[in-house]
Structure 1
Amino acid sequence: MRVLCVGEDSTRGNGRPYEGLSKAAVDGSVSITMSGSAGVVETLRRSHYDIVVIQQASPDMKLLRHIRNSRVPTPVMVIALTSTPLEVAELLSIGADDCVLASVDPAELLARLRAIVRRVSGHDSLTLHIGRLTVGVDRREVHVDSKPVPLTRREYDLVELLALRKTQVLSKETVLDSLYAGESEPYGKVIDVMICKIRKKMRNFGIDEPFTTLWGIGYRLNEVAFAPLGARANAVESRTGQPAKESCIPVMSGINIMSSTTLDLV
Structure 2
Amino acid sequence: MRVLCVGENASCGRPTEGLSRAAIAGSFSLSTGEASGIVETLRRSHYDIVVVQQSSSDVRIVRQIRKGKISAPIIVMRQNGTDEGEVDLFTAGADDCVAENTDHNVLLARLRAVIRRAGGHDSPTLHIGRLHVGIERREVHIDSTVVPLTRKEYDLFVLLAMRKTQVLSKEVLLDSLYSGEDEPFGKVIDVMICKIRKKIRAFGIREPFTTQWGIGYRLNETAFAPVTVTLPKDDYHVRPSVRENCIPVLSGINMLEVSTPGERI
Cα displacement (A) at 1:211? 0.8
Instruction: Give the aligned partner of residue 8 of structure 2.
Output: 8
Segment of structure 1 superposing worse, 122-131 or 142-151: 142-151
The one-letter code matched in structure 2 to 1:152 is T
CA distance in 2, matches of 1:58, 1:10: 15
Q: Secondary structure at the match of 1:156?
A: helix
* TM-align CA RMSD: 1.9
Match of 2:199 among 198, 201, 205: 201
- Contact 1:11–1:56 (Cα < 8 Å) also in 2: no
CA distance in 2, matches of 1:152, 1:25: 20
The one-letter code matched in structure 1 to 2:195 is K
Instruction: Give the aligned partner of residue 106 of structure 2.
Output: 108
- Contact 1:6–1:34 (Cα < 8 Å) also in 2: yes
Segment of structure 1 superposing worse, 210-219 or 39-48: 39-48
Cα displacement (A) at 1:146? 1.9
The one-letter code matched in structure 1 to 2:146 is P
Following TM superposition, where does structure 1 have runs of at least 4 consecutive aligned residues deviating by more than 6 angstroms?
none
TM-score with structure 2 length normalisation? 0.81
For CA contacts below 8 A with separation 6 or more, give which structure has more relative contact order.
1
Equivalent positions of 1:184-263 (< 5 A) are: 184-230=182-228
Give the gaps of 5 or more residues in structure 2.
Answer: 231-265
Cα displacement (A) at 1:10? 5.6
The one-letter code matched in structure 2 to 1:157 is D
CA distance in 2, matches of 1:33, 1:168: 24
- C-alpha offsets along residues 127-177 of structure 1, whole Å, 9 cap, x if unaligned? 100111111111111111222212122211111111011111111122122
Cα displacement (A) at 1:181? 3.6
CA distance in 2, matches of 1:105, 1:49: 23
* Identity, % of aligned positions: 64
CA distance in 1, matches of 2:198, 2:213: 19
TM-score with structure 1 length normalisation? 0.81
Segment of structure 1 superposing worse, 184-193 or 135-144: 184-193
The one-letter code matched in structure 2 to 1:156 is Y
Instruction: Give the aligned partner of residue 261 of structure 2.
Output: none
The total of aligned residue pairs comes to: 231
Cα displacement (A) at 1:182? 2.8
- Contact 1:29–1:181 (Cα < 8 Å) also in 2: no
The one-letter code matched in structure 1 to 2:224 is F
Equivalent positions of 1:82-101 (< 5 A) are: 82-101=80-99
Instruction: Give the aligned partner of residue 133 of structure 1.
Output: 131
Give the gaps of 5 or more residues in structure 1.
Answer: 234-266
- Contact 1:11–1:57 (Cα < 8 Å) also in 2: no
Instruction: Give the aligned partner of residue 142 of structure 1.
Output: 140
CA distance in 2, matches of 1:68, 1:6: 15
